[in-house]
């Protein structure tokens, strides 16, 4: 669907969208359209249950006195509460409503000038489809809508703003694509090829193969990959948009392209979902695309560890002890707690190589976080209050929310091992917290660090206002805003 912007005026033909506030009061453009149609909009409201609440809509076919095919009246809720997030949700709702009409071109008369870009952002995010493997769809099965024209008084400003917003949306879509791909298509080697395309945007790419990682002593990450025929990789992505002397902001992502659980194998039911256990790496990749696309004024490094966790005669066993790149030893109690083994070596590598000013890691790390927070928030863990506040604030501004959970010695004691420096699980109690405590052991003293457990957020089983069911791309907009608000020059 193509998004365009134009001056605020009633079109001569086609379908048009107008708005009303809660209580049924028409916005100015809707008033003008009502007058042009001899009161058709007001009569339709009177004959319906439409009250102008957010999410409500009313359709008027072939209205009198004009050549329009239809009018779609949508509620925005209380005007005083109509903000950036509400505008994005409205854009998503209008996109869905327009897609259901069979129209090819729809014009939106948008009176809330300063929120036009946000409306367009929501509409674009909701329009995403992952349909590359659908071969039997008929023409009627596919969306007919080709363009959404947003008519607003400040259309030139909105268009300029949307050009930047679209770069971030491109990053979200890149992440959604990666998360949606099946594991026979997206595995460590092919993942490397996908992210290598970011070089065209100016991202510097470095790839570490199995031999490189062995030399560096990445026994934790390599242990996870032992059972798979797919070779592991680590990809380093660098965006140098800041001053040369400035230390980078670092993002680290878990990239388990398929997770069977290894020898500690998962139940068969639902295992197909484990294609998106690379969600953290997907977010880091999409974020780098967004930052490079909009030419962010900041130095950023993204590191992703790419492995496949499979059971075989060569697979890592429960009870094995591995030595991480940091030199710390780990007793592997459960081979299904593999993501933290991938991340710990990536965390050590990025610190020793780039000495970043801060680190944020992302991972679909624990099922326990879903039990704790449902599908409403990602879990946030941090050793730095300022960093935690920055991430929380950024999440609220783009409606990708987080909830901070505690860390502490009592939780850290749960991962003490009898034979190694630590074990990779701490039992059922506080499973997400002990996983975060494990990662914290690999952060050098006083370096600001945050861990986002996105297991509940990387994939959605249902549609939302700006996200169709499937891969969500959660985290890309959050972290892009985090960088923009706090670390750009």
The H or E element spanning position 161 is helix 155-180
pTM for this entry? 0.97
Residue 176 designated active-site: no
Q: How far apart are CA 56 and CA 90, in angstroms?
A: 10
Exactly one of 159, 176, 340, 423 is catalytic; which is it? 340
**Pairing mode, if any, of strands 402-404 and 378-382?**
parallel
- CB neighbours (10 Å) of residue 465? 20
* CATH of the domain spanning 167-486: 3.40.630.10
Any idea which of 104-108, 140-144, 342-346 has the lowest mean pLDDT? 140-144
β-bridge partners, 235 = 207, 304
pLDDT of residue 468: 96
Q: Is 84 helix (H, G, I), strand (E, B) or coil?
A: helix
Tokens at 285, concatenated:
């990749």
Q: Per-residue pLDDT averaged across 157-172, rounded?
A: 98
What mean pLDDT is reported for the chain?
97
φ, ψ at 247 (rounded to 5°): -65, 145
pLDDT of residue 100: 85
Burial annotation 97-112 (CB, 10 A radius, 16+ → b, else e) = bbbebebebbbbbbbb
pLDDT of residue 391: 98
Q: How far apart are CA 33 and CA 25, in angstroms?
A: 13
Tokens at 216, concatenated:
């560096």
φ, ψ at 470 (rounded to 5°): 120, -150
pLDDT tens-digit series, residues 278-323: 999 999 999 999 999 999 999 999 999 999 999 999 999 999 999 9
Q: Per-residue pLDDT averaged across 40-54, rounded?
A: 96
Q: How far apart are CA 116 and CA 92, in angstroms?
A: 13
C-alpha separations of 186 from 256, 258, 410 in Å: 10, 9, 39
Q: Per-residue pLDDT averaged across 100-121, rounded?
A: 95
Beta strand segments in 7-131, E = 13-20, 57-61, 67-75, 105-109
- Give the residue among 61, 87, 94, 57 at the shortest CA–CA distance from 73: 57
Q: Is 439 helix (H, G, I), strand (E, B) or coil?
A: helix
Residue 266 designated active-site: yes
Q: How far apart are CA 400 and CA 479, in angstroms?
A: 10
Q: How far apart are CA 234 and CA 346, in angstroms?
A: 8
Exactly one of 70, 97, 153, 266 is catalytic; which is it? 266
- Give the residue among 314, 350, 354 at the shortest CA–CA distance from 335: 314
* CATH of the domain spanning 2-153: 3.40.220.10
- For the chain, the domains span 2-153, 167-486
Q: What percent of the chain shows pLDDT beyond 90?
A: 97
Q: Is 167-486 the same fold as 2-153?
A: no
The answer to whether the beta carbons of residues 120 and 150 sit under 8 Å apart is yes
């Amino acid at each position: 669907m193509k998004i365009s912007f134009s001056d605020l005026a009633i079109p001569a033909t086609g379908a048009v969208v107008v708005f009303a506030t809660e209580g049924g009061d028409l916005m100015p453009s809707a008033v003008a359209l009502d007058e042009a149609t001899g009161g058709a909009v007001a009569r339709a409201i009177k004959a319906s249950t439409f009250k102008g609440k957010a999410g409500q809509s009313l359709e008027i076919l072939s209205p009198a006195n004009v050549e329009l095919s239809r009018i779609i009246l949508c509620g925005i809720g209380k005007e005083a509460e109509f903000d950036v997030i509400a505008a994005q949700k409205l854009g998503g709702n209008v996109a869905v409503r327009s897609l259901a009409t069979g129209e090819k071109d729809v014009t939106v008369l948008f009176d809330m000038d300063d929120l036009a870009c946000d409306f367009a952002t929501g509409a674009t995010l909701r329009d995403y489809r992952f349909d590359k493997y659908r071969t039997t769809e008929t023409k009627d099965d596919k969306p007919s809508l080709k363009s959404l024209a947003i008519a607003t008084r400040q259309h030139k400003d909105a268009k300029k703003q949307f050009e930047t917003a679209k770069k971030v949306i491109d990053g979200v879509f890149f992440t959604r694509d990666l998360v949606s791909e099946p594991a026979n298509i997206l595995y460590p080697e092919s993942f490397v090829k996908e992210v290598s395309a970011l070089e065209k945007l100016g991202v510097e790419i470095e790839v570490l193969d199995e031999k490189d990682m062995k030399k560096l002593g990445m026994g934790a990450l390599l242990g996870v990959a032992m059972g798979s025929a797919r070779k592991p990789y680590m990809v380093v992505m660098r965006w140098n948009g800041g001053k040369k002397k400035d230390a980078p902001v670092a993002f680290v992502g878990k990239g388990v392209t398929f997770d069977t659980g290894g020898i500690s194998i998962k139940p068969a039911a639902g295992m197909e979902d484990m294609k998106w256990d690379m969600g953290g790496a997907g977010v880091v990749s999409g974020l780098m695309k967004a930052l490079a696309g909009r030419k962010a004024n900041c130095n950023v490094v993204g590191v992703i560890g790419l492995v496949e966790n499979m059971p075989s005669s060569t697979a890592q066993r429960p009870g094995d002890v591995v030595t991480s790149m940091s030199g710390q030893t780990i007793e592997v109690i459960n081979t299904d707690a593999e993501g933290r083994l991938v991340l710990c070596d990536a965390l050590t590598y990025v610190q020793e190589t780039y000495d970043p000013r801060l680190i944020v890691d992302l991972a679909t790390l624990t099922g326990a976080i879903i039990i704790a927070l449902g599908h409403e928030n990602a879990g946030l863990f941090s050793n730095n209050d300022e960093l935690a506040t920055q991430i929380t604030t950024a999440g609220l501004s783009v409606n990708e929310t987080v909830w901070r959970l505690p860390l502490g010695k009592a939780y850290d004691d749960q991962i003490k091992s009898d034979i190694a420096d630590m074990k990779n699980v701490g039992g059922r109690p506080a499973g997400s917290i002990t996983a975060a405590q494990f990662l914290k052991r690999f952060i050098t003293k006083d370096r600001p660090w945050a861990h986002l457990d996105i297991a509940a957020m990387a994939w959605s089983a249902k549609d939302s206002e700006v996200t169709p069911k499937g891969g969500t791309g959660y985290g890309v907009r959050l972290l892009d805003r985090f960088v923009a608000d706090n670390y750009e020059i």
